[in-house]
Amino acid sequence: MTVHPPRLRRGLPPVRSQPFERLPHTGRTMVLTFDDGPDPEYTPGILRTLRRYDVRAMFFVCGEMADIHPDLLRALADDGHVIGNHTWSHPLIPQLAPSEIRGELGRTSEVIEQISGLPPLWYRAPFGAWNRHSFEIGAELGMEPLAWTVDTLDWTEPGTGTIVSRVLDGAGPGVVVLSHDAGGDRSQSVTALRHYLPRLLDDGYRITVPRR
């Protein structure tokens, strides 16, 4: 009889009381993040631009979207992007019982791992609404909480030029930029990326992703 060794799991990170809002940096590094997807209408356009410039980003996906669009999740993983957990159904976490938070995060982590082959190491609370239970449960699931430094507010559809200006004006070492690739009409977000990404690179920024 063949005996297989138990699968090694990553250790639990510390339980945070606040999410990371920027990341430790070496030189002029920035992180681009996209929430709420994957979405077949907008995520592919973002992927095309990232491929064009050979840049990696973070995608905080909702489990229900990943479950519906597994091919897109695989495309994110195949391109080397970091896939984070953004809960299953995008609820307001402080209104949930701990068991419901565990279900939202745990179910999403399972789907991400099943489809991409890797469990998520980062998570983000919808609306940036964290609480003690979310930090504790996230740590139990092996994930660190990541917020953002620059909010493009692209969900308000302020215009492509405004999104571009917010990213460029907020650029700086260690900055984490929040955008969206689902949850509404994200055509402005897709177009804005095509404009601000080459300008960031021309300005000497290295667009990177955290590795743990």
Condensed to tens digits (0 to 9), the pLDDT of residues 120-146 reads 999 999 999 999 999 999 999 999 999
As given in the structure block, the two tokens for residue 143 are 């994930």
Looking at residue 3, its pLDDT comes to 40
Indicate if 35 belongs to the active site: yes
d(CA 36, CA 169): 24
Please name each of the domains of the chain with its CATH number: 29-207 (3.20.20.370)
Indicate if 180 belongs to the active site: yes
Place of tokens 């994200």: 186
Give me the numbers of helices (H) and strands (E) for the chain, helices first please. Answer: 7, 8
Which residue type sits at 62? C
d(CA 136, CA 133): 5
Looking at residue 6, its pLDDT comes to 44
Which residue type sits at 207? I
Q: Is it the case that residue 7 has pLDDT exceeding 60? A: no
Q: Is it the case that residue 204 has pLDDT exceeding 80? A: yes
Residue from 35, 36, 39, 181 carrying the catalytic annotation = 35
Determine contact, residues 72/62, Cβ cutoff 8 Å: no
Place of tokens 């791992």: 113
d(CA 54, CA 182): 22
Looking at residue 102, its pLDDT comes to 98
**144 bridge partner residues:** 122
CA 208 to chain centre: 13
Q: Within 13 Å and on the Cβ side, how many CA atoms surround 198?
A: 7
Confidence (pTM): 0.94
Cβ contacts of 14 within 8 Å, gap of 6 or more: 139
d(CA 114, CA 189): 29
Q: Is it the case that residue 173 has pLDDT exceeding 70? A: yes
211 falls in which pLDDT band (50, 70, 90)?
confident
Most distant pair of Cα atoms in the chain: their distance: 64
